[in-house]
Structure formats: structure tokens, C-alpha cells
Amino acid sequence: MGTAVAKELVTGPYRLLLMGNEVDKAACLEHLLTELKGIAPDAEVEVLDCLVDASWEADIIILVVAVCKEKEIAAMIKEVATGKLVIRITDAGEEAEAEELYTGLPYSKVIKVRCEPLQEVPYVPVVDGMPVRAFIELQY
């Protein structure tokens, strides 16, 4: 999901900071960086190896993490995520709420985005002639 989001955002006027939480993801992120530069050669994209640094520099934090890691992630970025928008991306099969992020990041605005295959959605909203690809579920 994170790769899909990065590929969507890279053509916009954004600086993207890519970060993975496992050592073996470093090679994957470097490969993604190469792909993104192929899509948008002038894009400002870099790979960071520290979640805290990445969160500190970001205006919007997009997390694609397992529910069991939310408490740990929230504890790590709590100090630097104050006043920031934190978007938690889940897939259609993940029913658990992002409670650990809501309680662990009390001074951030946490939004859960659930991605579902378009064919399973009974009604696909169209905005400016294009189908919407994510349904945003605001939770307070």
C-alpha cells in the first residue's frame, strides 16, 4: 500500500520521505526510489532510515503498519508528530481500529484510510470523472 501511495504522490508538488522499519526493506526502498525517479525524474524523494527523523521532517505522516506495531510506532513518534496529520492505511481485510494511534498520538489528527478493491464496493463514487480509490473513515 505504501508503494502505491508513493507512486500516486510522486507526480505532485511534494517532497517524499520514504522509510521502512526493517533492515531488509532498505533494498526495497532503494528500488522504489529508482522507480519513483523513473516516473518523475525531478521529484524530491529520499530514503531515511530513522522513523523519528522522517516523522520530524514530514508535514503529513502516512503509516502502513500492522495493528500490533501501532503502540510501538506511536511511542516512537509521539514527540515529533505533535500537530501533524497521521494517515493510517489499512486494507479491506483488516477490521481492527487504529486505537493505539489515537491514544498514543493525542496531539495529532489520526485518520484511518481503508483501501478496498473497487469491484467489492457496491457504489464507487466518481469525482471529476474519476472513480475514488480510497474511502476515508474519520474517527475521533
12-20: average pLDDT: 84
The answer to whether residue 117 scores a pLDDT higher than 70 is no
**pLDDT reported for residue 19:** 83
**Nearest C-alpha neighbor of 102 from the set 88, 118, 119:** 88
Tell me how far apart the alpha carbons of residues 35 and 92 are, in angstroms, rounded to a whole number: 26
26-76 residue pLDDT tens: 678 888 889 999 999 999 998 888 889 889 988 888 888 777 888 898 999
User: Percent of the chain scored above 70 by pLDDT?
Assistant: 72
Tell me how far apart the alpha carbons of residues 57 and 52 are, in angstroms, rounded to a whole number: 9
Greater confidence, 16 or 129? 16
The answer to whether residue 91 scores a pLDDT higher than 70 is no
pTM, 2 dp: 0.71
Q: Strand pairing of 44-48 and 60-63? A: unpaired
The answer to whether residue 94 scores a pLDDT higher than 70 is no
**pLDDT reported for residue 113:** 78
